[in-house]
Amino acid sequence: MPTFQIDVPMPSMGATVSELTIINIVVAPGAKVAKGQKLAELESDKSAFDFESPAEGTIVAVKGNKGEVKRSGDALFRMETSDQSLQHLAIATAQHDAQAATQAAPHAPAAAAKALVWTPRATKMAQEAGLDPTTISDIEATGPGGRVSGDDVAKYLASRK
């Protein structure tokens, strides 16, 4: 069967959830994956869950990094597959093959590795309080995976009063 490349999108979690945080990416470009195999761990403001491969194939590119917040529908992986049921996600490959070969997902610089990772809920709470989460470094991150949670923001705001 002929193969083609698809962009695997971030899942849609319903009308009230438009952004998801990448907790962890568990595959790398070149990995052969089975349908249903775990590719990443994602988190919404309501839950954390495993993101699984929609088809058997090969990961061509990873289009996100740990801690990154992406919108539902944005590409998370590019994969090559022969699963015709995903033909609607096929991309034009002539131009993209060269890009995929030269563009791996950027690695965060060492300084950014120490940056705090915020859940979408925590980010929203901080912004609603008039704060910029990117400038806050003295908050305790007690959420899953060491992320700043909504409870952490509530404690932080209470300690500033």
pLDDT digit string (tens) for the chain, length 161 residues = 789 999 999 888 777 777 889 999 999 999 999 999 999 999 888 788 999 999 999 999 999 999 898 888 889 999 999 999 888 888 875 444 555 454 544 444 444 435 788 888 888 888 888 888 888 888 888 877 778 888 898 999 898 87
How confident is the model at residue 107, as a pLDDT?
A: 47
Q: pLDDT at position 5, please?
A: 93
Q: How many CB atoms lie within 10 A of CB 59?
A: 20
Cα distances from 38 to residues 49, 65, 97, 147, in angstroms, run 10, 16, 24, 21
DSSP secondary structure of 74-123: SEEEEEEE--GGGGGGB--HHHHHHHHHH-PPPPPPHHHHTS--B-HHHH
Contact 86, 33 (CB under 8 A): no
Q: Which helix (H) or strand (E) holds 48?
A: strand 48-52
Residue 40 CB contacts under 8 Å (≥ 6 apart), including other chains: 22, 23, 24, 25, 26, 27, 50, 51, 64, 76, 77
What domains can be seen in the chain, in order of their start residue? Answer: 4-107 (2.40.50.100), 116-159 (4.10.320.10)
Which residue reads 């929203």 in tokens? 124
Neighbours of 117 (CB within 10 A): 19
